[in-house]
Amino acid sequence: MMFAAAHTHPEGSRESLRAELVRKVADALHSRHADTLGAVLQMAGIPRSAVVAAFDHDGALFIAVVTAIADRMLAPLAERPTGASFHAQLVAFARQATDEYSGLQLGNLYRIAVTGDFGAPAIRADFYRHGPARVRDDLARFMSFARSQGFAADMDCRRAAGHFLSLLRTYWDVADASLANGQARIDDDLDWMVEVFLSGIKTRSDDAFPTCHALD
């Protein structure tokens, strides 16, 4: 079988196996029963031998998964914003982030990390660095550039990024509750949510400038 013999494959095949395992785990994380590493691997139909062949250990696989999820979440922020695109890019980021979370994908992944199922503290630290911290920091840099160009209000960029993600988490919880009740998910309010956020982040420039400047 491919999984059992994966360790004998050249590096190109190993990369393909890695991509396949990341995809399968990401899909399995949409289940409400994906609450442990073992449960996720079982639902994805991935034997431990495949994990060892492709990633050496479970932690490396799940770090690759959270990296892939963060890549998709941050895609709308890849281009530097302009005055015309800043609002639209934040809306696109919000939509991408809530799309990821609405399937319980990130919720389950974070729960597994927080409960210590990754084992070694170093693995949990890498998970945080590649997932939550990276999303927050890249969002802060995006806001910092917008501020430096004069089309975003003075703000403490790192703090503003944290507030925006907290606002999205509130939306995620409401959206998930609606799904659990069999109600249609309503996500047309993201544009309004971004508008409210942007109008609420104005702070004194002497607080905002040093933080934003440091992120440029």
CATH of the domain at 163: 1.10.357.10
Q: Using alpha carbons, select from 114, 10, 26, 19 the residue that is nearest to residue 66.
A: 26
Using CA of residue 167, residue 145, residue 132, residue 97, what is the dihedral sign?
A: positive
Does 172 map to a domain?
yes
The DSSP output letter for 118 is T
Does 29 map to a domain?
yes
Does 208 map to a domain?
yes
Please give the pLDDT value at position 206: 41
CA–CA gap between residue 75 and residue 164 (Å, rounded):
17
146 to each of 82, 94, 204, how far by Cα in Å? 7, 17, 17
φ, ψ for residue 29 (rounded to 5)? -70, -10
CA–CA gap between residue 57 and residue 21 (Å, rounded):
12
CB-CB neighbours of 91 under 10 Å? 17
Please give the pLDDT value at position 111: 82
Please give the pLDDT value at position 187: 57
Does 152 map to a domain?
yes
How many domains in the chain? 1
Does 1 map to a domain?
no
CA atoms within 13 A on the CB side of 215: 24
Which single residue is written with the structure tokens 């806001």? 143
Q: What's the pTM?
A: 0.80
Residue 175: which domain range?
Answer: 6-215
Does 131 map to a domain?
yes
Does 121 map to a domain?
yes
Does 80 map to a domain?
yes
Q: Which residues in the chain come in under a pLDDT of 70? A: 1-12, 100-104, 116-119, 173-188, 202-216
4 to each of 17, 51, 212, how far by Cα in Å? 11, 10, 50
Cβ-contact 77, 33 below 8 angstroms: no
